[in-house]
Amino acid sequence: MKTANATQRAEVILGLVRDGEECSVSDLSVRFGVSEMTVRRDLDALAAEGRVVRTHGGATAASGVVFEFRFLERAREHRVAKRQIAAKAASLVTDGMTIMLDSGTTTLALAEALRGKRDLTVITTSLPIASALQYSDAIDVVLLGGHLRRDAPDLSGALTLQGLEGLHADAAFVGVDALGVDGTTYSHSIEVAHLIASMAAAADVVYVVADSSKIGRASLAKSGSLSEWDALITDPDLDAAKARELKKHGVKVIRAK
């Protein structure tokens, strides 16, 4: 790292604090082969952006860094399955539709798969989804207001539900934290469960997008039932016995290829 520039040094520092290390000025000076004054300037710049917290003699992680890292880690989990599901879901979206996307990482993958569509309107509570579609000229994004959750980059609460009132969508694509083999959908968050139920009520067609690792489980809050919605879109690795149980309870299962 002796030839690292300021941007490269910042990336290394953020990686260290994400791993729970407190970075001292003296250690970083040796690691990068730069003066302690240069390191202090690096840390001060990161602190000014809210990405680290300055400590006596160094820096540690800001809550925003941990927040960002945890979301990225969730997005990386079962990445191949999420892309397969997203591709299948995107094939069900035609130009000119209005769709709702909740704040999950699978719906984020779907948003990225929609970039080639035209004349779409996407209603969402997810900041990453809004960011992913921001520069897609043929897609209008409606970002619902509300309270920013502390543990995820999305909006929820009474203001969000109020914003949904009077809106209509051709289809809603929603994620789950868990899905019972009887078709019951669950969220870790009571607020998110209420939001998903409201999105489903405002859409003509409702699809649950969930990788197979979430199926056959339960969580804190029920958000709905696939026996009353239209279909589950999942990856090819869904266990055959679980698929049979879902179908027995009236759930239509669409497997991505």
Residue 59, pLDDT score: 82
Residue 71 has a pLDDT of 63
CA distance 237 to 161: 35
Q: What is the pLDDT of residues 183-200, one digit of tens each?
A: 999 999 999 999 999 999
pLDDT over threshold 80, residue 1: no
* CATH number 3.40.50.1360 is the correct assignment for the domain at 77-255: yes
Tokens of 100: 């709702």
pLDDT of residue 223: 97
Q: Residue ranges per domain, the chain?
A: 6-69, 77-255
Q: Indicate whether 225 pLDDT > 90.
A: yes
Per-residue pLDDT, averaged over 22-46, amounts to 90
The reply to whether the predicted model has a pTM over 0.85 is no
**CA distances for 82 relative to 56, 120, 180, angstroms:** 43, 21, 19
pLDDT at site 62: 61
Average pLDDT estimate for 14-41: 87
Confidence of residue 134 (pLDDT cuts 50, 70, 90): confident
Tell me which DSSP letter residue 214 carries.
G
Q: What is the DSSP string of 81-150?
A: HHHHHHHHHHHT--TT-EEEE-S-HHHHHHHHHTTT--SEEEEESBHHHHHHHTT-TTEEEEE---EEPT
What's the confidence (pLDDT) of residue 257?
86
Q: List b or e across 95-105, with b for residues whose CB sees 16 or more CB atoms inside 10 angstroms.
A: eebbbbbbbbb
The answer as to CATH 2.40.50.140 being correct for domain 6-69 is no
How much is the pLDDT for 107?
A: 96
